[in-house]
Amino acid sequence: MAAPLWRDLVRNSNEGKYGEFARNFSSSLALAMDQVVAGHQFANSELARNLSGDFDALGIIRRGEHVTVLYRQRSTKKPGEWLGRLVLGYENGQVRIFGASIF
């Protein structure tokens, strides 16, 4: 369930499609995201625009009503690996993204 959501985030980040990127966000995350700042990140981050479709799930932890999935994420332009984090939970009966980041 998490992998298709992560794959969509990677694809939409690479294409700079913020609206599609945020499509599965929870209402609280969507409200917290400043569209201007996010758009700036897409435009100016070499990593955010060059994420590889080659990623590996490293593990899952559960905390309360949410699960966090950790990924090994690679870039198509930068050597090395990054840690991806995807926080999922239910909102109005649907799985939504409550957090997503790459470190």
User: How many Cα atoms within 13 Å fall on the side-chain side of residue 28?
Assistant: 11
Statement: the pTM of the whole predicted model exceeds 0.75: yes
What is the side-by-side strand order in the sheet with 51-63? 51-63, 66-75, 81-91, 94-102
Is the Cβ–Cβ distance between 21 and 13 less than 8 Å?
yes
- Confidence at residue 34, expressed as pLDDT on a 0 to 100 scale: 67
Q: What does the alpha-carbon distance between residue 71 and residue 8 come to, in Å, rounded to a whole number?
A: 14
CATH number, residue 20: 3.10.450.50
Residue 37 sits in which domain range? Answer: 2-102
The number of domains in the chain is 1
Residue 60 tokens, joined: 């899952």
Residues 37-96: tens digit of each pLDDT: 666 666 678 888 899 999 999 999 999 999 999 999 999 999 999 999 999 999 999 999
